[in-house]
Amino acid sequence: MASKIGLIIRREYLAKVRNRSFVVMTILSPMLIVGMIVLIAYLTKVNDDETRVVAVLNESSFFMEEFQPTKNLSFVQFEGIGLEEAKDSTNALEYYGLLYLPNEQNVEKTANATYLFTKDNPNTNITQKLESIFQRQLRQDRLQKLGVSSEQFSTVEAPFEINLATFEGEKSMKGINEIKAVIGGGFGYAIMMFIIIYGGFVMRSVIEEKTSRIIEVIISSVKPFQLMLGKIIGTSLAGLTQFTIWIISASILLTLAVMLFGIDLAQLSGDSPMPAGPMGAGMSQIEGMDSEMLLYAQEILDIPWGLLIVSFFIYFVLGYLIYSSIYAAIGAAVDNETDTQQFIFPIILPLMLAIYVGFFSVFSNPHGPIAVAFSLFPLTSPIVMLMRLPGGIGEGGVPLWQFLTSVGVLIVTFLGIVTLAAKIYRTGILMYGKKPTYKELVKWLKY
Amino acid sequence: MDHILVAKNVSKTYGDYTALRNISLEIPTNCIYGLLGPNGAGKTSFIRIINQITHPDVGEVLFNGEPLAPHHIALIGYLPEERGLYKSMKVGEQALYLAQLKGLSKAEAKTRLKYWFDRLDIGDWWNKKVQELSKGMAQKIQFIVTVLHEPKLLIFDEPFSGFDPINANLIKDEILQLKENGTSIIFSTHRMESVEELCEYIALIHKSEKILDGKLSEIKKAYKNNIFNIGLQAEKDAHGLLKNLEEKFNILSSHIDLAENQLDFKVQLTNSNTAGVLTELSGMANINRFEETIPSANDIFIQTVNNKDNGK
């Protein structure tokens, strides 16, 4: 018995890994992904490197020192020419635009009379940057009128961040929930992709056995359930092989790419996940940043990785078995792949729901009612619970009862679904030329 | 007499559909048994029960006197009607896999496969992929895989469909050889004439029910209806001869060859006592043919079905 399942697993595994498209995908995918990363990094760099030049024709006596170059924006001062000349020069020199400040009596009026001339509609980033320059100056000016000195103004302008702490008195941090959810979400997302890709493989493999008519030969030697189980396990082992190869070769390629092209990966993640601390001035604040960084690092190290990996394994195995046995049943019910659409949508739906609801609700509140409900519901729990688990189990994390209930419900569902799927599978593989309806499938359950 | 397989009151329903109704069969050891009936009669349903692919709702099946159990699977070889192979797998590898699923060790399977591949003259196919083979070639592989584990009972469902005449004969000879070696064989087919000559026993299945079974020769004896084909060489007037005969016998059909003065006719006799008839005929003309028509399985089938339908 067991040796027969072993034989089936071996055949399914070999059939999968020897498949040409599988081999091609295994080799090509990491290259494609790394190539894409390199490309995106390159494009981002090119994009960032572009500095736009805005010509400034300042006829007023204000805003003399305000136009300082920043990373993507620099200024050229025009002096002693008229507006029309300035426009022509801007065009001729191919500057991005011309900022014209007419001569007015005060800051307020100057600002109101200022125009930005551009060839096309201006980029929002540029206008925002310019607006903030004016706003700062205007605010200072207005406050001065109310009797606030510029020193006082600097103090007023000093940014503020609220102090965060848990009830236990530990210092807590902004964004850490999101980071945790992203880490858990990564695991959840991996599960979803794995289910969709390899569940599809299982389904196609069942359809192949049906259309090639080998099924009846095999079914006279082994039980349909053994064949189904062997197929699911063999395919998933092939999938794990592929994943392992991907991870290893992608990390090697990525390392090579970083070394060769000197790509700054931090650049890719956009704003670093840590909320920028109070940038500005003062050595003390930079030191504060460091200690804050350490706290974040500490938090990430504090994520119960052991628990996360063990539960990833539990949820992965159970979730994959549930979904792939449904895929196997669908494969058995139909005669060709085009008939599978109507059955596949309802399977993918809970997966998508888990990812989206998970990301939205778990992000904002990992222990809110929606997050709890979806982490208990068996078809979504493998994904949603993993998003919640980086917070740990017990105090401050997922209550133990929820974790146990979730796993328990998942196991019960697994047994139920596999039994039902096996029934549909058993009947379906011997049915040819019938386009099955849901009604028909329910009937098969009773055979 | 030993029975390799005995079915007792086997019934099987799928939802509202009754596939088998109260079927009882006894299949003697070491014979060729024909399971005959039109498409959809329930033959395949019955075979699936023997192979334990499905289980009867009611009734019992005994294999060699024991209730059917999983370990019997290794003792049965089944060539299904809907048969195929993995297209992208190599022939040898695939045959090894299927043989191992039947419980053979890898080494044993390899030795036997080599023997069979040589025997059927396909030794050089080992590393070919199935998709490169023709349908007939694939059937040879399927045949080998079916018999490789030397089962006590072989079941062939529509065995000759898809074979060209030469290969069909080759396979027929192999099957007869297997029977010589002591294997019991079940043939299932709706093309009754194709296996009639091979079968010693038959069962007729119609609309999920067994309507007739037994030894083929005895069934035929029972279904003889005293119809004879007779050929007479008339001296001169064949028409006159026929007229004379029509007064005495129940002539079913006749044919006259005027050039040869030959009269051929089919006659229904009241009993199987042919001596009197022969004497009478020999007084009238030269008898050059006198034979009893033996009903074919197909005739018997049609007659039985008609009788049954009329009886209802």
Q: Quick one: three-class SS letters along A251-282? A: HHHHHHHHHHHCCCHHHHCCCCCCCCCCCCCC
For residue A174, pLDDT over 70 is answered with: no
CB-nearest to A212 from B15, B80, B84 is B84
pTM above 0.80, yes or no: no
In this predicted structure, what is the pLDDT of residue A234?
92
Cβ–Cβ < 8 Å for B22, B7: no
* Distance in Å from the first CA to the final CA of chain A: 24
Check if B115 contacts A (Cβ < 8 Å): no
Distance of CA A104 to the CA centre of its chain: 51
CB-nearest to A217 from B73, B83, B88 is B83
B86/A447 CB distance under 8 A: no
The predicted model gives A278-302 an average pLDDT of 56
The span from the CA of B167 to the CA of A192, in Å, is 51
Closest chain A CA to residue B77: A220
CB-nearest to B97 from A7, A219, A430 is A7
Q: Per the structure block, which two tokens stand in for B165? A: 């005449």
Which distant-in-sequence residues (6+ apart) come within 8 Å of A23 by Cβ? A17
The span from the CA of A343 to the CA of A437, in Å, is 9
Would you call B155 helix, strand, or coil by DSSP?
strand
In this predicted structure, what is the pLDDT of residue B1?
67
pLDDT in tens, B131-140: 888 888 888 8
Check if A158 contacts B (Cβ < 8 Å): no
Average pLDDT score over chain B: 87
A220/B73 CB distance under 8 A: yes
Cβ–Cβ < 8 Å for B225, B268: yes
Give backbone dihedrals phi and psi of A253, rounded to 5 degrees, phi first.
Answer: -60, -40
Sign, Cα dihedral of B108, B111, B114, B115: negative
Q: How confident is the model at residue A41 (pLDDT cuts 50, 70, 90)?
A: confident
DSSP readout, A62-117?
S-SS-----SSEEEEEE-S--HHHHHHHHHHTT-SEEEEE---SSHHHHHHH-EEE
For residue A274, pLDDT over 60 is answered with: no
For strand B201-206 and strand B209-215, is the pairing parallel, antiparallel, or unpaired? antiparallel
**Residue labelled with tokens 């592989």:** B141
The span from the CA of A97 to the CA of B308, in Å, is 100
Report the gap between the CA of A22 and the closest CA in chain B (Å): 14
Report the gap between the CA of A337 and the closest CA in chain B (Å): 17
Closest CA to B43 of B23, B29, B69, B60: B23
The span from the CA of A442 to the CA of A438, in Å, is 6
In this predicted structure, what is the pLDDT of residue A358?
79
The span from the CA of B151 to the CA of B184, in Å, is 9
B76/A220 CB distance under 8 A: yes
The span from the CA of B260 to the CA of B236, in Å, is 9
- Which chain B residues are closer than 8 Å to A11 by Cβ? 97
For residue A192, pLDDT over 70 is answered with: yes
Sign, Cα dihedral of A16, A19, A25, A28: positive
Return the number of other C-beta atoms located less than 10 Å from residue B269's C-beta. 16
pLDDT in tens, B259-298: 888 888 888 888 777 888 888 888 888 888 888 888 888 8
The span from the CA of B101 to the CA of B77, in Å, is 12
- Which chain B residues are closer than 8 Å to A7 by Cβ? 97, 100-101
pLDDT in tens, B79-130: 988 788 888 889 999 999 999 998 889 999 999 999 999 988 888 888 888 8
CB-nearest to A212 from B86, B98, B102 is B86
Give backbone dihedrals phi and psi of A367, rounded to 5 degrees, phi first.
Answer: -120, 25
Cβ–Cβ < 8 Å for A1, A226: yes
For residue B152, pLDDT over 90 is answered with: yes
The span from the CA of A169 to the CA of A196, in Å, is 44
**In whole angstroms, how large is the CA radius of gyration of chain A?**
31
Distance of CA B210 to the CA centre of its chain: 15
pLDDT in tens, A392-424: 777 777 888 898 999 999 999 989 988 888 888
B98/A221 CB distance under 8 A: yes
Q: Out of A240-244, A288-292, B183-187, give the one with best mean pLDDT.
A: B183-187
Would you call A284 helix, strand, or coil by DSSP?
helix
Cβ–Cβ < 8 Å for A315, A410: yes
Q: Which residue has the higher pLDDT, B302 or B21?
A: B21
CB-nearest to B85 from A15, A212, A432 is A212
Q: How confident is the model at residue A430 (pLDDT cuts 50, 70, 90)?
A: confident
For residue A12, pLDDT over 70 is answered with: yes
Report the gap between the CA of B287 and the closest CA in chain A (Å): 55
B209 forms bridges with which residues in the sheet?
Answer: B206
In this predicted structure, what is the pLDDT of residue A53?
86
Would you call A333 helix, strand, or coil by DSSP?
helix
Give, as one character, the DSSP assignment of residue B294: P
Average pLDDT score over chain A: 80
Report the gap between the CA of A12 and the closest CA in chain B (Å): 11
Indicate the residue type of A157: E
Indicate the residue type of B163: F
In this predicted structure, what is the pLDDT of residue A277?
39
Return the number of other C-beta atoms located less than 10 Å from residue A229's C-beta. 19
Closest chain A CA to residue B149: A221
The span from the CA of A96 to the CA of A56, in Å, is 11
Return the number of other C-beta atoms located less than 10 Å from residue B29's C-beta. 15
The span from the CA of B36 to the CA of B43, in Å, is 8
The span from the CA of B195 to the CA of B172, in Å, is 10
pLDDT in tens, B204-254: 898 899 988 888 888 888 888 788 888 988 877 888 888 888 888 888 888
Lowest-confidence pick of A5-14, A46-55, B45-54? A46-55
Q: How confident is the model at residue A269 (pLDDT cuts 50, 70, 90)?
A: very low
Q: In chain B, where do the E strands start and end?
A: 3-14, 17-28, 32-36, 58-63, 66-67, 76-79, 153-157, 184-189, 201-206, 209-215, 227-233, 250-257, 262-268, 286-292
Cβ–Cβ < 8 Å for B9, B59: yes
User: In the Cβ-directed half-sphere of A48, how many Cα atoms lie within 13 Å?
Assistant: 11
Q: Per the structure block, which two tokens stand in for A89? A: 């020069």
- Counting one residue from A and one from B, how many pairs have CB atoms under 8 Å apart? 62
Check if B100 contacts A (Cβ < 8 Å): yes
In this predicted structure, what is the pLDDT of residue A286?
43
For residue A383, pLDDT over 80 is answered with: yes
pLDDT in tens, B35-59: 988 888 889 889 999 988 888 999 9
Cβ–Cβ < 8 Å for A237, A9: yes
CB-nearest to B80 from A11, A217, A224 is A217
pLDDT in tens, A247-259: 888 888 878 877 7
- Which chain B residues are closer than 8 Å to A425 by Cβ? none
pLDDT in tens, A329-374: 988 888 888 888 888 888 889 998 888 887 777 777 778 888 888 8
In this predicted structure, what is the pLDDT of residue A261?
66
